[in-house]
Amino acid sequence: MHVRGKAPAPAVDVFTCQKDGTPIVRILLAHHAFINILLYFRRGIDCGLDQDGFAAENTISHAKSVEELEVAPRATPARTAMGRALYVPVAEAFA
């Protein structure tokens, strides 16, 4: 959306999070969301709720995205309390 007198905000592509300039908070939020999706898929599969194979089929691509999104948070030594709260619990649950 473009507001008169203001340039639109640049889009952030989480799949190219290795590029300079992507705020770590956005990477952490995306990482948190993707892991929660993967946990949801796993639980659905484990409970026999994936009759059409959608969760199993999409688990691989989502897992690759999580791997990419984990590079920056792992390499960032000075995470804030909020950053740790977003990253640590879901990373441990996914491990």
Does 10 score more than 80 pLDDT? Answer: no
Does 9 score more than 70 pLDDT? Answer: no
33-78 residue pLDDT tens: 898 899 999 999 999 999 999 999 999 888 888 888 888 887 777 6
Task: Scan for tokens 């590079």, then name that residue.
Answer: 71
Per-residue confidence (pLDDT) for residue 7, from 0 to 100 = 47
Does 17 score more than 70 pLDDT? Answer: no
What dihedral angle (degrees, nearest 10) is formed by the CA atoms of 56, 93, 69, 77?
-170
